[in-house]
Amino acid sequence: MTKALTFTVQNPQPSNLSTGSNGDSQSPKQKCRLGQLEFTPPTTTTATTTDTTKISLETPNFFQYTIQGLQPHLVPEVASHLESMPPAIRVNLEGFVKDREIPVSTEYPGKLHQFLGYPENNSPLLLLDIYDPVILERNIKPNSKSLGVDTEGGLQRITGKGLAKIVEKYRPDIFVLPADYVFSKIEELYEGKRVKKSVERTKNWITEYMDTSLSQSQKPALFVPLTGAPNETLREASVNFVKELDADGNVIDGYVISEYGIVGGYPLEKKLDMAWSSFSSLDQNKPRYMVGVSSPHDVVMSVDSAGIDLFDATYPYAVTEQGFASTYVFGDISVESRKDETLKGHISLWETPMFGDFGPLVPGCTCFACQRHTRSYVHHLLMTHEMLATVLLQIHNIHWYNNLFKAVRSSLKDGSFNEKKCAFLKNYVKQGEDGNAKYLLNELILLQSQTISPTTKAGYKKFGRRLSEDSATTA
């Protein structure tokens, strides 16, 4: 049987890297890598021809972030005009669960792609996972039989079998198998019995899912989550389970490490070490997806230290929600006309001086917003709470984020990654007064700790309530 989803690792030549000016500091075990993810959609029943458009994704790359299947602030018509975005979206099942009912519309005849408005023969690669990566803490009471989803009608439980039915109905291209994540920033929770339970429950749920036969002709590609961090023995148990599951190498298509699976409180370096310890003993020719890690410096570090191939795009959304436009640059910043702004990582369109600034959001940017509109106009839209403000900012921020990935890939190709990585981290990660690293591109953390986003007056009520309680206890 030929696989619908394939992944090819195209590592940079180590000889190129070692001849660079930073050649000596190059680690002999190169973790960062280039890859090519290819997906052949199933032939549709209504298609008149048999040709299927193959979806190609160069990695490192990202899945576009969605809320209830739609990109924040961008209706599909606008989103379709964004240039050269990765043709891949991440849908969170959680967003579809509105009450206690199983979140499957049994009446809708098509698959999730069509429900979300994508044409049958030209849909993006659709990955279905369970939880929204922006939300890091939940109270969902999982047990050995089922995971929990917090809905407006109360807690809903879903078993492995239930998930299989949902997948059968939605027909995603990739499904991330369930895991019992420890949704908390309390480190002690990760040290004791809770992690042991997490590994066991994950195993139970996945086994039940795998034992439920699906009737559809093309089953989704499966990404499997790795759990057990920070306990080495449990990490190993999780890896061994994945190996058993994939005994013939044909069941699992990719690996997932989730931010909430590896402790919100630990420094990123430590999390990446844990992630690498799991990845390194698994098949090196399968893609690695890091859920919940999205800030540019985190992306660069994850590519470098754990060989991550795929990310989320929650960061540009977080930047937009603050009324900011991204300005960070991965590469030579000496040529930037507004170097002060570049080094800041973003500009705030709320600020009063923007009132009289008739330049684009970022000089030289080729996005729709920068080509047609001024800072002054976006400032005006924000002040009057016009929705177009966040539309234009999101267009710029997602375009800018896409540029980051393009720059990372091109530096991996020409061997300049190491040099640019060092410069980038020097610019955007500073030493704090307490001796800890201070990450300048922290808009995601800002969003996660806010009661209500500054750009939405009444929105995200539930989201806001939950987070305000959390920030009150963690402040």
Q: Residues at the annotated binding site? A: 365, 367, 370, 396
- Residue closer to Zn ion by CB (options 400, 428) is 400
Within 8 A by CB and 6+ apart from 435, the residues are: none
Least Å distance, CB 336 to Zn ion, is: 14
Interface residues with Zn ion (CB under 5 A) are: 365, 367, 370, 396
Least Å distance, CB 389 to Zn ion, is: 14
- Residue closer to Zn ion by CB (options 182, 367) is 367
Relative orientation angle of helices 232-245 and 268-279, to the nearest 10 degrees: 40
Task: Say how far apart CA 292 and CA 133 lie, in whole Å.
Answer: 5
Task: Say how far apart CA 40 and CA 2 lie, in whole Å.
Answer: 10
Least Å distance, CB 368 to Zn ion, is: 8
Least Å distance, CB 446 to Zn ion, is: 21
Least Å distance, CB 370 to Zn ion, is: 3
Relative orientation angle of helices 388-414 and 375-383, to the nearest 10 degrees: 130
- Residue closer to Zn ion by CB (options 241, 405) is 405
Task: Say how far apart CA 281 and CA 236 lie, in whole Å.
Answer: 9
Give start and end residues of each alpha helix (H) in 322-387: 339-344, 368-372, 375-383
Phi, psi of 468 (to 5 degrees): -65, -35
- Chain centroid to Cα 322, Å, comes to 19
- Residue closer to Zn ion by CB (options 115, 368) is 368
Identify whether 316 is preceded by a cis peptide bond (ω within 30 of 0): no
For the chain, what is the largest distance between any 2 Cα atoms, rounded to a whole number of angstroms?
Answer: 65
- Residue closer to Zn ion by CB (options 92, 326) is 326
- Residue closer to Zn ion by CB (options 25, 337) is 337
Which residues make up each annotated binding site for Zn(2+)?
365, 367, 370, 396
Radius of gyration of the chain (CA): 22
Task: Say how far apart CA 391 and CA 393 lie, in whole Å.
Answer: 6
**How would you write 208-261 as a 3-class SS string?**
HHHHCCCCCCCCCEEEEECCCCCCHHHHHHHHHHHHHHCCCCCCCCEEEEEHHH
Least Å distance, CB 360 to Zn ion, is: 7
Task: Say how far apart CA 21 and CA 418 lie, in whole Å.
Answer: 10
- Residue closer to Zn ion by CB (options 149, 404) is 404
Least Å distance, CB 362 to Zn ion, is: 5
Cα dihedral angle (309, 312, 315, 318), rounded to 10 degrees? Answer: 180
- Residue closer to Zn ion by CB (options 266, 368) is 368
Reference 178, options 191, 161, 192; nearest CA is 161
Least Å distance, CB 396 to Zn ion, is: 4
